[in-house]
Amino acid sequence: MTDDLTRLAAHELAARLRAGVMTSREITAAHLARARATDHGLHAWLTLDDERALAEADAADARLAAARGEGAGAVDALHPLLGIPIALKDLVSVAGGQATAGSRILVGYRAPFDAHVTERLRDAGAVILGKTNMDEFAMGSSTEHSAFGPTANPWDLERVPGGSSGGSAAAVAAYHVPLGIGTDTSGSIRQPAALCGIVGMKPTYGRVSRYGIVAFASSLDQIGPFGRDVRDAAALLHAVSGRDERDSTSAPVPVPHDLIDLPADDDEAASWLRGKRVGLPREYFVPGMESGVEARVREAVAVLETAGARVEEVSLPHTDYGLATYYIVAPAEASANLARYDGVRFGYSVRGGDDYLADYLATRGRGFGAEVKRRVMLGTYALSAGYYDAFYVKAQKTRTLIKRDFDRLWEAGFDTLVAPTSPSVAFPFGARMADPVQMYLSDACTLPVNIAGLPGISVPCGLSEGLPVGLQLIGAAWSEGELCRAARAYEGATASAAWRSILPHDLAALEDPSTPTPAERVAAGSAT
């Protein structure tokens, strides 16, 4: 029964809850049991809070029972996430709980309040199982930069799940939880979704409040959902979206109701594509892209055309400047945001005597990992006297040009753009750790969307060498409803594809308690 429950999508679980076939406590207990039994070889979780999760499940069951007493209308008015388990990336504040952001420097910190996202999930009645692993301060594309050890990919335990939200992506893909929350600064939701064979979405900048989220780059960070299908991811986005007065970048834009009203029927969903104008940016087929990835993406484009879409090759001419622009803007903002970690107010602290400066340097030197130090130094340099105009200001001007490229396509009447999510499938542990630039190139197809503040979603589109490939769809600002319809349409058009029935290859290995942890596998590989 545990396996049956954990293999169901969130909307299937919600239907059974409302029908009275099962309770949220049963659903929550089943997912907790699976996560505890199979996380040893995965390391997707940093904490699991059984007591709090089961209490939230009981509260959801009580809300459902009260609504039944009021009639069918009251039950229908409940949010579809009521009683559904969810994973939070460990930079989301939960009152009284940890929020390490994957860093040693925040060990011991306990959040004094709930993030806006947490509040919205509680309002919906969702059940928070715990916190997932991540690259330190969301700086990474593989979840190898976590201070608490790497996370593995359930498709191949010798490979990374992507990052920085790799813990949430792996937990959803391994059936520990049907839904997860991640953050996306340059592709940190979409890229791990692609590598783990699930759905991940980055909303328009300002759609979801960042209040209570440990910051990396404030003008780029955005919270978004993971799910195993588009309907689930869209419902989670609906739950956490909306204006928040505590976040000045949170936009007063209505949340589209069609996020929880996507077609259930595959043929009806696919019919959305008829007559739609879809752009295929040539610049996203980057040098070095794996041939199998390109083949799967072009096959997906052919599916869109067969379903009635009009696909046209387009150009986003400033795309080639995206990587350089991002790695000036993001580190500059990170250097400012991370200045607060001084060992005085909270978190890890080194105290060696009366020399405050020595203690400060020791705290940051030992508390931050190598990748965080690299980016803080890069950002501080870009903001320093004599270099601010040459680097940071020029990067911001280039950012405007990148956004204008997209705007011209929306003005020309395109409904959506389609592109690869990642230029490669999941890569082996250690393959890119010695070459930061090669690691940064993992986000080459996703980071322009963050630079322009647009919404993007990654959906599975087949396998290459037995590993998942992601198809990225990009929309105009505030078009999440239409973008989810486009993604659901592709999902419907490929519902009978053989690759959709293939499960992650290493699920059985996760059930074996003798399977090594990811850290042990990395250590063994390094020794070899």
| Low-confidence winner among 128-137, 190-199, 275-284, 338-347 (lowest mean pLDDT) | 338-347
pLDDT of residue 185: 97
Q: Which residues pair with 227 in a beta bridge?
A: 179, 199
Q: What is the DSSP letter of 260?
A: G
**Mean pLDDT value across residues 491-507:** 97
Helix (H) or strand (E) holding 480: helix 480-493
**Mean pLDDT value across residues 425-429:** 97
Fold designation for 2-272+481-527: Amidase signature (AS) enzymes (3.90.1300)
Q: Which of 89, 131, 202, 276 is catalytic?
A: 89
**191-213 CB burial, b ≥16 within 10 A, e <16:** bbbbbbbbbbbbbbbbbbbbbbb
pLDDT in tens, 165-217: 999 999 999 999 999 999 999 999 999 999 999 999 999 999 999 999 999 99
The two structure tokens encoding residue 187:
């592709």
> Looking at this protein, which amino acid is placed at residue 115?
A
| Low-confidence winner among 55-69, 229-243, 352-366 (lowest mean pLDDT) | 352-366
User: What number of H helices and E strands is found in the chain?
Assistant: 20, 11
pLDDT of residue 27: 98
- Of 94 and 437, the structure prediction assigns the larger pLDDT to 94
101 Cβ contact list (under 8 Å, min separation 6) = 90, 91, 134, 136, 137, 138, 214
- The answer to whether the beta carbons of residues 105 and 348 sit under 8 Å apart is yes
Sort residue 286 into left (φ over 0), alpha (ψ -120 to 50) or beta.
beta
Q: Is residue 2 predicted with pLDDT exceeding 70?
A: no
Pairing of strands 467-474, 45-48: unpaired
> Looking at this protein, which amino acid is placed at residue 121?
L
Q: In what order do the strands lie in the sheet with 416-420?
A: 45-48, 127-132, 85-89, 179-183, 223-227, 199-202, 456-464, 467-474, 416-420, 277-281, 310-314
**Mean pLDDT value across residues 504-520:** 97
Reduce the DSSP state of residue 215 to 3 states and report it.
coil
Average pLDDT, the chain: 96
Q: Which of 93, 164, 209, 479 is catalytic?
A: 164
pLDDT of residue 439: 86
- Opening angle at CA 287, ends 150 and 405, nearest 5: 100
Determine the Cα–Cα distance for residues 161 and 21; give it in Å rounded to an integer: 34
Q: Is 103 a catalytic site residue? A: no
At 354, is the pLDDT very low, low, confident or very high (cuts 50, 70, 90)? confident
202 Cβ contact list (under 8 Å, min separation 6) = 184, 187, 189, 190, 222, 224, 446, 449, 450, 455, 456, 457
Helix (H) or strand (E) holding 15: helix 10-19
Determine the Cα–Cα distance for residues 322 and 490; give it in Å rounded to an integer: 27
At 286, is the pLDDT very low, low, confident or very high (cuts 50, 70, 90)? confident
At 528, is the pLDDT very low, low, confident or very high (cuts 50, 70, 90)? low
pLDDT of residue 344: 87
Q: Which of 24, 93, 165, 188 is catalytic?
A: 188
Q: Is 164 a catalytic site residue? A: yes
pLDDT of residue 307: 98
Find, among 199, 158, 171, 166, the residue nearest to 505 by Cα. 158
Q: Is residue 1 predicted with pLDDT exceeding 50?
A: no
Query: 258: buried, middle or exposed (CB in 10 Å: 19+, 13-18, 0-12)?
Result: middle
> Looking at this protein, which amino acid is placed at residue 482?
E
- The answer to whether the beta carbons of residues 231 and 488 sit under 8 Å apart is yes
How far is C-alpha 327 from the geometric centre of its chain's CA atoms?
20
